[in-house]
Amino acid sequence: MVAQSMVAAINLLLPQLSSSSVHPSHTELLWTVDAYVIVFAGLLIPCGALGDRYGRKGALLAGLGLFAAGAATSALSTAPALLIAGRGVSGAGAALVMPATMSILTHLAPPEQRPRALASWTLAVGLGGLAGNVGGGLIGAYLPWQALFWTMVPLAALLALVVTRTTPRTAKSTGTDRTGRPSLDPVGTLLLTAGLVALLFGIIESPLYGWTSARILLALALGAALLGAFTLHALRSGTPLFDPRVFRSARLRASTLGTAASFFGLFSLFYVNSQYLQYVKGYDAAQAGLAIVPLTLGMALVPRLAARWSARPAPVAGGGLLLIGLGLLGVSTADAGTPYPLYACWLLVISIGTGLCMPALTLGVVSSLPRHAAGLGSGLSTSTRETGAALGVAVTGTLLAGHADFTDGMAVALRGVGLAVIAAAALTALGLRRRAPREGQAEPRPDRSPTPAPSTRP
């Protein structure tokens, strides 16, 4: 929850930062936001493998330490470069924290309780987004911007103490073959991380420079080339970071698509929500942060209910994504005259959809990989979330920039995003119709020789 909150919280402090003694330029303000997300998402998969190989509890504690060190660096910064560097260090810490938390839950929970455990993890991620919006808004209204970062230091220390005393160590994975067991694979790690960073840079910076600018096209092309090189390397390596053949699993493809689509829609909403409430409705930063509270009701109440339906992921995940898409279409009709209770109702629809689909999608990713690669699966799931979130902000920001009137741009952007999420709902439901693999097994892979079916003759 703490790691996810720092994705959103900084956005509500940008006005205060721009007029502070740090004097960041417009580009430096963008990098203050983006450094955390780019490093966070770029390192998630290798950090998940690192925890699987060397210890998940150790990865969690190291991540909390890095997170606190980065926050202290940002709080003490007197120049934009130091502020941005601190954000990047905190992002690296978050990349260690997020996969380790899900992986530890997966190992500690008995099989029958695993859907509920992952539902709790999903709830924490959703509440992190709320905490970031509310906390950032309150600090922006009543405290200096440094308070956000100083708060994170004792909080991370307290969490580290609690983890040390309460969290047991889980068995490490030591295999190095193509069964999905984690390998550090330095070459593959470098190619994958660099490819994701280049791709995320192109997506995140596209509203500023334009999708057709040379800088963005080069970043996207470089990212695609590096990811292609990673795929070729992994297919030829005996000890890859992870085997790209896992994406032959229809469940894994559907779950990653649904995860990306849900955060694509959610962060499109987050991007316009604060601006709509402040610029169109006239709310201050604290009011804008509190006004998104309805978005947490469904996230808090529905995941535990959805966990009971974990055996039927297709209708649960597809239905949840459908509600997110319909809610975004509803929000797209909002203007200056829209009463807040109606706006809050649409937020509640999106919230229920998110709470419904996220446990099933998270379980779909984790159950498609061997249990000993849970950290890798968590890193893949969270990296997909952050990439979808970055794409949602970039697409929405680009569409908004093309309209002089904010409400017109908001309507066009959310309408397009909502329809895209609805289309993804149909594709996700189709992919999840395959029966889940048995506990402890990965979904069968087509590249292996099939086992002959037993005879059905008497």
pLDDT tens-place string over residues 292-308: 888 878 877 787 777 77
Structure tokens at 191: 């190619």
371-381 in b/e form (b: 16+ CB < 10 A) is bbbbbbbbbbb
CA-nearest of 355, 434, 390, 132 to 260 is 390
Tell me what pLDDT residue 347 has.
94
The string of pLDDT tens digits covering residues 326-384 is 999 999 999 999 999 999 999 999 999 998 898 888 888 877 777 666 667 777 888 88
370 touches 181 (CB < 8 A)? yes
| pTM of the full structure | 0.79
Tell me what pLDDT residue 144 has.
92
- Residues in the chain, pLDDT under 70: 172-184, 371-375, 434-458
Q: How far is CA 7 from CA 34, 354, 413, in A?
A: 9, 18, 21
Q: How far apart are CA 94 and CA 91, in angstroms?
A: 5
186's CB contacts (< 8 A; 6+ apart) are none
- Count of all residues that appear for the chain in the document: 458
Angle, to 10 degrees, between the axis of helix 80-108 and the axis of helix 340-367? 60
Q: Which amino acid is at 453?
A: A
Tell me what pLDDT residue 371 has.
66
Q: Look up the CATH architecture of domain 2-167+241-431.
A: Up-down Bundle (1.20)
Please state the domain extents for the chain: 2-167+241-431, 185-240
406 touches 292 (CB < 8 A)? no
Q: How far apart are CA 150 and CA 144, in angstroms?
A: 10
Tell me what pLDDT residue 448 has.
41
